[in-house]
Chain A
Amino acid sequence: MRFSGFRVFKEGLTGNKGWTPHWRDPEPKSEYDIIIIGGGGHGLSTAYYLAKEHGLTNVAVLEKGYIGGGSIGRNTTIVRANYFLQGNSEFYSHSLKLWEGLEEDLNYNVMHSQRGIINLFHSDGQRDAAARRGNMMISQGDDAILLGRDELRKMLPYLNFDDLRFPLYGGLYHPRGGTARHDAVAWGFARGADQRGVDLIQNCEVIGIDIENGAVRGVQTTRGPIRAKKVAMVAAGRSGQVAAMAGMRLPIESHVLQAFVTEGLKPCIDHVVTFGMGHFYISQSDKGGLVFGGDLDFYASYAARGNLPTVENVMEAGVALMPMIGKAKVLRSWGGIMDMSPDGSPIIDKTHIDGLFLNCGWNYGGFKAVPGSGNVFAHLIATGRYHENATKFRLDRFRTGRGVMDEEGKGSQHNLH
């Protein structure tokens, strides 16, 4: 089934009876060439690109819950390429380019909206840092514009320009940044992978990884054993438990990050706005809800909910920055589990076990990386070589100290990134 304007029109006139399920619900086979553990955004896009770019379709994605039920459905949907360090910079640039062609590629409306992101700054020093980051983004081939206070006021007149603690000096504007509909991203990749022959197997939890003589042989699941020549672990949020089945300890600590959405309002916030000093960022969904969040709760957690002190912090920062949102009612809040790595950058690598691959450590940045991560991970799995835009996400960079990519120079404590 292909989506098109004509199809929507026709279905509208004929009672919408012609729509079919977006993907099959197959029984697991006893053997695949490649098994992907984790049917989240990254796992699904890995499967999609394995099929599309490498012609590998004897692939199964094993999901312990349902497609779209993990972090791909629990984020704040922001897409951007405003990284500073080499390694991250070219990767997120690559991912943003894939986003820009994604809807046509998938024949699926992921509601990718390049409404622009503005990172606010509040001092001369922060302006210098923003200019430096902007120059790095431009030299990477992406876009960045340094806004002064007056330009900022024209674009975001609703901000509190009288704040004495954090006076608004301007913002770093990244016009190609924006948002996308997160569920649709999962569904689009799932449908695209399924159409090319990948088996998406839901309610199938991996409970063991079979390793013989240093090589992976398959997995044990709640729906029986499945053999495979290659196994990819893509289970951010639960990476540690999955890797433990292969006898590995990861440089990951799991933390809860909360997010909030208000009742639907008329359009009022046209961009994504980030207020780093207040640990607050916000955008408005196409449905009208203000979607916003803040920082981690800061203690290791696997609960998909946080505690009230962080809620209070986020609300205070939001109202301090844009007093107009004070009257909006918060509809709901939730927490997502973050794989926090010691340098704030992800890991996409082989492991010391033959045929076993690892993709984890996405910190807060997993959503925007969905197309890029799947694309470069599929390349690694299929060819055994690192993709040219993902050569630096090595697992051993912590042990050796070579190639650590700490964007903000925070040090090795996991929760500080």
Chain B
Amino acid sequence: MRITCPHCGERDRREFYYRGAATDLERPAPDAGEEAWDNFVFLRENPAGETRDLWYHEGGCGAWIVVARNTVTHEVLGTQLASEARS
């Protein structure tokens, strides 16, 4: 699996650390309540097919990257800086 870092170009998967679903970028307010926090920290859509997840370019530029990916075929469909995905 190779991932295209928006800064560094296409790189080996080994340069990246996997964090989890990209919903990690949607942090609820501290007082949003038990349900919102359960949803954020624990519950997952966990699709068999296309998903968006969050990777860190640990062995490269240090950017957090949202990777659109297929969980069944391991095909990488596209990447975007997390800072841009959130804004």
- Please report A residues at the B interface, Cβ cutoff 8 Å: 238, 240-241, 249-254, 298-303, 307, 309, 342, 398-400, 412-415
Contacts and interface: CB of A to CB of B under 8 A. Distances in A.
B21 to A, nearest CB: 7
B51 interface: yes
26 contacts: A238-B48, A250-B44, A250-B46, A251-B38, A252-B46, A253-B44, A253-B46, A254-B48, A254-B71, A299-B13, A299-B18, A299-B53, A300-B53, A300-B71, A301-B71, A302-B48, A302-B72, A303-B73, A342-B42, A398-B38, A399-B38, A399-B42, A400-B34, A412-B42, A413-B20, A414-B20
Nearest to A341: B42
Report the interface size class on chain B. 20 to 34
Contacts, number: 75
Given A300-B53, A303-B74, A399 B21 contact: no
Given A307-B1, A398-B41, A301 B74 contact: yes
Interface string B25-58: 0000000001100110111111110010101000
B14 interface: yes
A6 B64 CA distance: 66
The dominant DSSP class at the B interface is: mixed
Contacts of B1: 299, 307
B44 to A, nearest CB: 5
Candidate in B13, B34, B53 with the most chain A CB atoms within 10 angstroms: B13
B56 to A, nearest CB: 12
Nearest to A248: B43
A238 B72 CA distance: 12
A241 B44 CA distance: 11
A299 B76 CA distance: 12
B19 interface: yes
B14 A251 contact: no
Contact of B46 (A240, A309, A400, A413): A240
